[in-house]
């Protein structure tokens, strides 16, 4: 079956520019208004453009939309077949057609009584088998009944993995640090030998458990780091310790066996889970070890709640749908190149990095589902840092720079440590920033302020232009009751579905990542050159750099 036939089989394939709504949106984009005017003309705007769901309150009223724009965006979703696409995605159809796979991270958090078929088999019982294995294994490590080769309880966990086998577990364990137990959890990802050595420097071989996470078990970085860790362990404790101190999460059983990991220490995963969506699978073993299996399962439960919301809520009140359509509007019609994610909690400091992979690897595509170049802008750049730190860094550009940067502000009503004084300060900043970004400060206000502090004449005149804020900068506020495993699960799932919706509207394949291959291929050619097994021809710049590297290497 060729690609086009597969496309026709189960997934909508509509060039969005051919729809009525796209043409209308193009026209609407030519007549921009301002956020200030939108609010002035509609007293119930805040209420109309907000969604309350479970522990989430999403206010998207500070965005460049009005009823006509929003209706057209919703129509665009319908015209590009979002509802059929959603059914295909959640129903396990092979929507990752360039790799011939289903995309079923949602199955990993489905209720035990659900039925989700892949190739005619219900995958839910197997998912629960693995989940139970994660539960009993992590419980035994946490309570110390599972012992190291020298009979001691484990104190440290080292997760060895990269990309999807690293970013999710790191982000979640950091986000749930409040819920953590006594185990110290470390992450080795980069093939940079200094990374692995810095981690090994901090742990004791006698009480360290390595969790090697690699869906393929062929990834250069992970295999190198796992091998270095193994040698380090063997040097301290002997070969026989490997069986007790190494476990693996993978689909590649022969490679794991060859590495020396015992079959009972293998946590399987399936090819219908993409790496960057895999934290809900056994890839989340380090999370279960860090916060315990109950919290891990609450995380999955929260994600499932968001799945149900996404699956059954009308598009106009559907949080991931609305957020995705706003991104499409800014990216494809208003010329935004990036969007910022600013969590107002230090716990979520790795969320932007995690989302960078999820969003940019999924929707950083320029070829549509027919293999033709797209004629519109797709996946944007995602970046961010926690507030308030980021206010003292890049917010200058957001307030007074030349770029259009729609931003998500994520805040929590309740702090975890109950420090109300700090939390009020934090949240005062949270609310003030979106207000300032929208309203800005006009010339009259600047003058008045300067006069109040006694400034007059030429000095005042010279300063005025620099102190004006045009405002009109769009933001979406996500106010969540409390950072818990459940709300975190829902938040991450919300972004996963947002990615999906954008991909459907843009008519691109969100679940492959061919763009990461070329660099890998060339790295292996250069490595062969370093090892003297191959001589390749490079461009002049690369030749020059390689010559310098060899000369300077010490
Ligand atoms: C994610 C990508 C990628 C992958 C890593 C690690 O969607 O596929 O980031 O997770 O390349 O792959 P392995 O888990 O196979 O080592």
Q: What is the pLDDT of residues 77-133, one digit of tens each?
A: 999 999 999 999 999 999 999 999 999 999 999 999 999 999 899 999 999 999 999
- Determine the Cα–Cα distance for residues 500 and 363; give it in Å rounded to an integer: 9
> Which mutation among 162, 267, 268, 512 tests ligand 1's pocket best, with the greatest number of atoms within 8 A of CB?
162
Q: Using CA of residue 477, residue 478, residue 479, residue 483, what is the dihedral sign?
A: negative
* Å from CA of 307 to ligand 1 middle: 23
| Helix (H) / strand (E) containing 435 | helix 420-439
Report, as an integer, the average pLDDT of 263-291: 97
> Which mutation among 165, 283, 365 tests ligand 1's pocket best, with the greatest number of atoms within 8 A of CB?
165
* Å from CA of 195 to ligand 1 middle: 19
Q: Do the Cβ atoms of 24 and 72 come closer than 8 Å? A: yes
* Mean pLDDT across the chain: 96
With a cut of 60, say whether residue 222 has pLDDT above it. Answer: yes
Task: For residue 2, name the pLDDT band (cuts at 50, 70, 90).
Answer: very low
* Å from CA of 516 to ligand 1 middle: 10
Which atom in ligand 1 lies closest to the alpha carbon of residue 221?
Answer: 16
Asked, colleague to colleague, whether 3-101+313-439+474-506 and 123-297 share their fold, the answer is yes
Q: pLDDT digit string (tens) for 473-503?
A: 999 999 999 999 999 999 999 999 999 999 9
Which tokens go with 177? 């640090």
* Å from CA of 346 to ligand 1 middle: 26
Question: Is any atom of ligand 1 closer than 6 Å to the C-beta of 106?
Answer: no
Question: Is any atom of ligand 1 closer than 6 Å to the C-beta of 215?
Answer: yes
Q: pLDDT digit string (tens) for 152-191?
A: 999 999 999 999 999 999 999 999 999 999 999 999 999 9
Which atom in ligand 1 lies closest to the alpha carbon of residue 276?
Answer: 7
Residue ranges covered by each domain of the chain: 3-101+313-439+474-506, 123-297, 515-553
With a cut of 90, say whether residue 422 has pLDDT above it. Answer: yes
Nearest CA to ligand 1 atom 14: 214
Question: Is any atom of ligand 1 closer than 6 Å to the C-beta of 224?
Answer: no
Question: Is any atom of ligand 1 closer than 6 Å to the C-beta of 163?
Answer: yes
Report, as an integer, the average pLDDT of 37-51: 97
Q: Report helix, strand or coil for 82.
A: helix
Report, as an integer, the average pLDDT of 308-329: 98
Which tokens go with 183? 């185990």
* Å from CA of 238 to ligand 1 middle: 31
Task: For residue 553, name the pLDDT band (cuts at 50, 70, 90).
Answer: low
Provide the Cα torsion 460, 462, 466, 468; round to 10°. Answer: 50
Give the fold, CATH level 3, of 123-297: Rossmann fold (3.40.50)
Q: pTM of the full predicted structure?
A: 0.97
Q: What pairs with residue 409 in β-bridges?
A: 342, 477
Task: Specify the pLDDT at position 552.
Answer: 60
* Å from CA of 174 to ligand 1 middle: 20
Which atom in ligand 1 lies closest to the alpha carbon of residue 222?
Answer: 16
> Which mutation among 163, 249, 256, 278 tests ligand 1's pocket best, with the greatest number of atoms within 8 A of CB?
163
Question: Is any atom of ligand 1 closer than 6 Å to the C-beta of 214?
Answer: yes
Q: pLDDT digit string (tens) for 388-398?
A: 999 999 999 99
Give the fold, CATH level 3, of 3-101+313-439+474-506: Rossmann fold (3.40.50)
Question: What residues contact residue 247 under an 8 Å CB cut-off, 6+ apart?
Answer: 137, 209, 210, 211, 212, 261, 265, 266, 267, 285
Q: Report helix, strand or coil for 189.
A: coil
Question: Is any atom of ligand 1 closer than 6 Å to the C-beta of 164?
Answer: yes
Report, as an integer, the average pLDDT of 65-81: 98
């Amino acid at each position: 079956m060729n690609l086009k036939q597969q496309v026709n089989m189960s997934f909508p394939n509509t060039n969005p520019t051919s729809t009525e709504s796209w043409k209308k949106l193009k026209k609407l984009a030519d007549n921009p208004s301002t956020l200030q005017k939108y609010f002035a003309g509609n007293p119930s705007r805040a209420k109309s453009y907000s969604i309350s769901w479970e522990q989430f309150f999403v206010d998207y009223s500070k965005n460049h939309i009005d009823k006509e724009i929003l209706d057209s965006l919703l129509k665009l979703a319908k015209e590009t077949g979002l509802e059929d696409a959603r059914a295909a995605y959640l129903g396990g159809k092979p929507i990752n057609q360039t790799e011939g796979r289903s995309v079923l991270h949602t199955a990993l958090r489905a209720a035990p009584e659900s039925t989700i078929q892949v190739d005619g088999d219900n995958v839910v019982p197997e998912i629960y088998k693995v989940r139970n294995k994660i539960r009993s294994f992590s419980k035994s490590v946490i309570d110390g009944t599972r012992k190291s080769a020298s009979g001691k309880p484990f104190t440290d966990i080292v997760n060895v993995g990269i990309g999807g086998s690293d970013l999710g577990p790191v982000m979640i364990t950091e986000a749930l640090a409040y819920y953590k137990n006594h185990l110290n959890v470390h992450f080795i990802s980069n093939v940079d030998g200094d990374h692995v050595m810095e981690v090994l420097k901090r742990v004791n071989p006698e009480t360290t458990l390595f969790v090697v996470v690699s869906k393929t078990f062929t990834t250069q970085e992970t295999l190198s780091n796992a091998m270095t860790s193994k040698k380090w362990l063997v040097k301290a404790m002997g070969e026989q310790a490997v069986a007790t101190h190494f476990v693996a999460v993978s689909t590649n059983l022969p490679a794991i066996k060859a590495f020396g990991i015992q079959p009972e220490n293998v946590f399987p995963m399936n090819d219908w889970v993409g790496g960057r969506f895999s934290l809900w699978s056994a890839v989340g073993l380090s999370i279960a070890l860090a916060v315990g299996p109950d919290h891990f399962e609450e995380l999955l439960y929260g994600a499932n709640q968001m799945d149900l919301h996404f699956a059954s809520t009308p598009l106009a009140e559907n949080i991931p749908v609305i957020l995705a359509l706003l991104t499409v509007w800014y990216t494809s019609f208003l010329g935004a190149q990036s969007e910022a994610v600013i969590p107002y909690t230090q716990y979520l400091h790795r969320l932007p990095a995690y989302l960078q992979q999820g969003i940019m690897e999924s929707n950083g595509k320029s070829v549509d589902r027919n293999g033709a170049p797209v004629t519109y802008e797709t996946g944007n750049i995602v970046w961010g840092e926690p507030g308030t730190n980021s206010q003292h860094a890049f917010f200058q550009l957001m307030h007074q720079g030349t770029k259009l940067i729609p931003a998500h502000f994520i805040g929590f009503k309740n702090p975890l440590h109950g420090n109300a004084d700090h939390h009020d300060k934090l949240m005062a900043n949270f609310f003030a920033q979106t207000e300032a970004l929208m309203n800005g400060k006009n010339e009259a206000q600047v003058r008045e302020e300067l006069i109040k502090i006694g400034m007059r004449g030429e000095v005042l005149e010279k300063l005025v232009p620099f102190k004006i804020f045009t405002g009109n900068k769009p933001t979406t506020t996500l106010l969540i009751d409390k950072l818990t495993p459940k709300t975190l699960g829902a938040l991450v799932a919300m972004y996963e579905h947002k990615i999906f919706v954008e991909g459907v509207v843009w008519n691109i394949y969100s679940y492959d990542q061919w763009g990461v291959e070329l660099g890998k291929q060339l790295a292996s050619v250069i490595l062969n050159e370093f090892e003297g097994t191959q001589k390749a021809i490079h461009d002049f710049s690369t030749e020059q750099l390689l010559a310098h590297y060899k000369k300077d290497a010490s």
